Amino acid sequence: MTGRARRIVVAITGATGAVYGVRLLQTLQTLPGVESHLVISDAAILTLHEETGLARRDVEALAHVVHKAHNVGASIASGSFLTDAMVIAPCSMKTLAAVAHGLADNLVARAADVMLKERRRLVLMVRETPFNLAHLRNMTTVTEMGGIVFPPLPAFYHRPQTIDDLVDHTVARVLDLIGLETAGSAAPRWNGLGG
């Protein structure tokens, strides 16, 4: 897919961890040749405000294109609209279940369904703990369908000093998965143990 900006769909759902979606959008803004498409679920609006203090309009301002969660007629609801990847950050267990079972009753689930049917990259940053058997089976199903289940588990080999360090590292790893590399040291490469 050349000759156009790389289109990345970002969906933010109501699970805790809204900061991951926000930081992903902020990072995508800094990358040349990237066009971000945003969908925020109704539940995410509450979580965003509670966890980050941001209003819907603040988050929407971070994206190039904003789609309403109930607009299943949006461009990203069709496979003929070329996109490169989709990240659901964070991904609630409700959204995971909808994706796993093809319940495309809102734009987040429909856009994810499109990614799977078109064999495009889909990353779900699932947020829940502990997992019950339904969660695990749904994660297995999405993985078998070609999606990538990426719980935002922190890494410590880069010796993070702040929560921002943890979030930045996780987002950088997600960007690696969708083929976008960021400058800087947010996700230092593992070069093995010295010794």
User: Which residues carry a binding-site annotation for dimethylallyl phosphate?
Assistant: 157, 173
- Which residues are part of a known binding site? 14-16, 41, 92-95, 127, 157, 173
Closest CA to 48 of 2, 188, 115, 40: 40
Amino acid at residue number 194: G
- Give the side-chain half-sphere CA count within 13 A for 189: 6
| Cα–Cα distance for residue pair 194/64, rounded to 1 Å | 43
Closest CA to 126 of 166, 94, 92, 103: 92
- Which residues are part of a known binding site for FMN? 14-16, 41, 92-95, 127
CB proximity list for 133: less than 8 A, separation 6 or greater:
none
Task: Please report the beta strands in 55-192, taking only residues with DSSP state E, as ranges in sequence order.
Answer: 65-68, 85-91, 121-126, 148-149
How far is C-alpha 179 from the chain's CA centre? Answer: 13
In what order do the strands lie in the sheet containing 121-126? 65-68, 34-40, 6-12, 85-91, 121-126, 148-149
